[in-house]
Structure 1
C-alpha cells in the first residue's frame, strides 16, 4: 500500500515537471490548450492524476482553468505584466533594503556556489538547471531580509511572471547579462549601501519584462 502511494505521488510529480518544462521553455506557447485526453495519451496514468497535475499547475500560476473551456497555458497581456512587475519591484526592493549589510560570510559563500552552478548550466545549455538555480539564487538572497512573509510574496510573484521570465531562457546574451548582475549583487553584499543593491534588484527585472511586452505588442 505504501509503495503504491509513493508511486502515485511520483506520477503526479512527473506530469507536473514535464508540463512545467514544456511551458517554461516555450514548447507549449501561451494560450495553448491542455486537454485531458491529449495528456492521457502522453502519460500512462489515470484521468485523476491528470486532473491533479492541472490543479497543481494552476496553483503555480502557469496555466488557467475555466469552466467549459478547460485548461490553457497562461498568457499575459501587457497590462497584466506591468501590474505583476509593479508588485515584484515593490517587494524585491523592500527585501533588499532589509538585508543587513555587510552580509554574513555564509550568505555570500552560499550565493557564490549557486552563482557558479548557474553559470555552468548556462554554458552547458541545461535550461532546467538555469531556471532552478536562478530562482534559488534570488530566494536565498531575499531570504536574508528576515521576513518570511515578504519572501513568500516574492516567490508567489516569481511564479506569476513565469511566462515572462521563460521568454529569456533561449537568449544566451540575456542569460549572460543576468548572470553578471547576480555577481554584482553578491559583491554589493560586502558593502553597506542597501539602496544601490535594491536598485540593481529592480533593474534586474526590466529586460525580460520589456522583451515580453515587445513580443506581445509586436
Structure 2
C-alpha cells in the first residue's frame, strides 16, 4: 500500500473515532464527567496515538469534551448554574433570529423545512437517534439561517453544541421527541404568517422541556 493510501485510511479512522465517540456522548453511553484517555482510544480503535489525540481535539472543538491541564479529556458535564446561563443565551439568540426572519417566508424555505421535518419524523418513529439528532440541528440552522445574519446563526450553532449534554437527556424519550417534532410543525406554520413575536416565543418555549428535565436530574 502506498503512502497516500495509508494517510487517507488514517484520516478516515480519525473521523470515525470522533463520530463514534460523539454518538456515545450524545446518546448517553458515555456519561458526563467520564475520562477519555488516548490509551483507551488506542485499545478500542486501530489507529495511531496522533489520530487518537486529533479525535479528542475535534470533540473539544464541538463543545462535548473538555480538555484540562493535568486532567486530560473528559466528557463535558454541566452544573445547574451553567445550564441556566447557557440557556439564557440560547433564548436571547434564538428569539432575536426569529424576530429578524422576513415573514411570510418564501415558499422555497417552507418546502425545505417541510422536507427536513418529514425526515426527522421518520427517524423518530424508526428509533434512529443519529438521524433524529442531525435532522433536528439541520432544521433549526435552516430556520434561523433565514434571519440573514450569519454571525448570529454561528452563535446559535455554538450554543447548540454547548448544550449537547442537556439535549442528549431527551434523546431516549420518544414522547419528548414527538413533542419537539410537533413544535417544528408549528414553526413552519408560523413562517407562513406575519407575526414574528409569536414565532420567537415558540422558539424560546421549544428550549424549555429539555432544560427542565436536565435541571430536575441534577437537582
Query: Which interval holds the TM-score relative to the shorter structure?
Result: over 0.9
TM-score by length of 1: 0.98
Q: CA deviation at 1:68?
A: 1.3
Aligned to 2:189: 187
For the residues of structure 1 that align with 2:6 and 2:141, how far apart are their CA atoms? Answer: 34
Q: CA deviation at 1:2?
A: 3.6
User: Structure 1 stretches of 5 or more lacking a match?
Assistant: none
Q: CA deviation at 1:5?
A: 3.3
For the residues of structure 2 that align with 1:53 and 1:209, how far apart are their CA atoms? Answer: 28
Q: Say whether 1:49 aligns with 2:47.
A: no
Aligned to 2:71: 69
SS of the residue aligned with 2:74? strand
Q: CA deviation at 1:39?
A: 0.9
Aligned to 1:208: 210
For the residues of structure 2 that align with 1:193 and 1:152, how far apart are their CA atoms? Answer: 24
* Residue of structure 2 aligned with 1:164, choices 163, 166, 171: 166
SS of the residue aligned with 1:76? coil
Q: CA deviation at 1:92?
A: 0.4
For the residues of structure 1 that align with 2:131 and 2:213, how far apart are their CA atoms? Answer: 22
Q: Say whether 1:173 aligns with 2:175.
A: yes
Q: CA deviation at 1:35?
A: 1.3
Greater shift in the superposed pair: 135-144 or 34-43:
34-43
For the residues of structure 1 that align with 2:39 and 2:70, how far apart are their CA atoms? Answer: 15
Aligned to 1:36: 38
Question: What are the equivalent positions in structure 2 for 1:53-202 lying under 5 Å apart?
Answer: 53-202=55-204
Q: CA deviation at 1:194?
A: 0.2
For the residues of structure 2 that align with 1:56 and 1:22, how far apart are their CA atoms? Answer: 15
For the residues of structure 1 that align with 2:11 and 2:103, how far apart are their CA atoms? Answer: 42
Q: CA deviation at 1:180?
A: 0.2
For the residues of structure 1 that align with 2:54 and 2:28, how far apart are their CA atoms? Answer: 22
For the residues of structure 2 that align with 1:6 and 1:144, how far apart are their CA atoms? Answer: 37
Q: Say whether 1:8 aligns with 2:10.
A: yes
| Cα displacement string for residues 86-122 of structure 1 (whole angstroms, at most 9, x for unaligned residues) | 1100000000000000000000000000000000000
For the residues of structure 1 that align with 2:114 and 2:103, how far apart are their CA atoms? Answer: 17
The CA RMSD measured in Å over matched residues stands at: 0.8
TM-score by length of 2: 0.97
Aligned to 1:25: 27
